[in-house]
Amino acid sequence: MTTNGQPTPVAPRPVLVLDVVGLTPRALADMPRLRALAEQGSRAALATVLPAVTCSVQSTLLTGSMPAEHGVVGNGWFFRDLGEVMFWRQPNSLVAGEKLWDVLRRSYPDAKVANVCWWYAMGMDVDTVVTPRPVYHADGRKSPDCYTRPTWLHDELTRALGEFPLFQYWGPTATIASSRWIVEATRRVLPHHDLTLAYVPHLDYDLQRFGPRSPQARAAASELDAVLAPLLDDAARLGVEVIVLSEYGITEVDRPVHLNRVLRRAGLLEVHTQAGMEYLDPWASTAFAVADHQVAHVYVRDADRVEEVSALLRDTPGVEQVLDRAGQAEVGLDHERSGDLVVVAERDAWFTYYYWLDDARAPDFARGVEIHRKPGYDPAELFFDPADRTAKARAGLALVRKKLGLRYSMTVVPLDARWVRGSHGRLPDDPEDGPVLITSTPGRLRESVAATDVRDLVLRAAGVDVDVLMAR
């Protein structure tokens, strides 16, 4: 086979795509190795999408389409057919559209593709998958672990690196340990694949806990840079082009906004009570919000009350925009999964999922790390309750019970959202806090690259003539 009179290569040029979540020009100031990569290669601002959250942006990067097309309107949403709010689902079938690897294989049918911890990994049509997946025991215990394909890779990685550090991947004990494990796993799969995707979460933690300008944020950036260095060395040695990007930048916040409490006080949100605890009742509610950082989807049961709810939210302090269907269409977010209204926070504000009016009535999962039970995103899960002097001690006791094979409860998360100092989701105002794109190849990037163009950028790096391919 020939292309333009020249033999077509039998394999693509190898590419590593590193999703360094939260990477910004501000963070790069403390990351000499990544900064050197940018200086030797090329660097651009990445024009992200709304909502600027992991699942939505990753889906855009891999499909080249907006959330209105691929359908991932947030890290979670209200599943209308099930009557449940669900966050952090993993089936790749939730993402519509032709994925990066699908297009790559149209030119190189035998291309080998690996995914290390990018989202929507289950059922992903790639050769290698590594993703966090705890073991849920019959007695209610949860043990850290990961899912791999092929199956044998699980035992190989566990022998070499230990069990996946799930409790350092998210929650009040989140540390560099999880990113180090991911980087080392990526080093092991990189030589055997033509396209490798890796997601590295460390900058998410202290930037949300303490804000992006804090000493802790600067230390986290420096620490992660050192962890990434061996992987970057491997890529250079193997002749792999490196593309580093971020989904969003984290900005300073100091105003939590409780949209569901606003709706409840207006008589629009309903709860049901069990064992003295209140639970959101989507079936009975006229309106409720699914909060996701600085963006919230508001679902309104009756079409003739949408404007009423919109007016209430527009008058709520901390709200910058309320997008109806027409407004959602303008930003590429008008999908059937989206709320009837999409609310965007002001720059220094973010949205909680809280719907109870009395902390004594909060559900027990509110005080724990329960990413699948909460009807919204909860960054307070990154903290041991600062107001509870016994929180860390009780957490330690819970871990002892876990190691003994006993059931345990980790109820140490604060219900005071004011501790959170960093957030994201709205489109950035300051380029210093916006996401970036770096490649190891000089001259590959313009000053700014749209998130919808990243898929084709990666394909071109791999040697695909995208213009010819798409014209077929």
pLDDT in tens, 413-443: 999 999 999 999 999 999 999 999 999 999 9
Residue ranges of alpha helices (H) inside 162-270 are 176-189, 203-210, 215-238, 259-265
DSSP letters along 105-157, please?
HHH-TT--EEEES-SS-BT--SSEEEEE--EE-TTS-EE--EEEESTHHHHHH
Which pLDDT score is estimated for 399? 55
Question: How far apart, in whole angstroms, are the C-alpha atoms of residue 124 and residue 129?
Answer: 8
Please give the average per-residue pLDDT across 130-139, as a whole number: 90
Report whether the peptide linkage leading into residue 317 is cis, meaning its omega lies within 30 degrees of zero: no
pLDDT tens readout for residues 179-194: 999 999 999 999 999 9
* pLDDT for position 391: 59
The mean pLDDT of the chain is: 94
Radius of gyration of the chain from its Cα atoms, rounded to whole angstroms: 22
| Res 394: pLDDT | 52
Domains of the chain: 2-252+427-471 (3.40.720.10), 255-420 (3.30.1360.110)
How many helices (H) and strands (E) the chain has is answered by 15, 25
Paired tokens of 176:
């560099």
- Quick check: 464 and 451 in contact, CB under 8 A? no
What is the pTM assigned to this prediction? 0.94
Nearest CA to 62 out of 238, 210, 199, 259 is that of 199
Residue 411 has pLDDT above 90, yes or no: no
Model confidence band, residue 7 (pLDDT cutoffs 50, 70, 90) = low
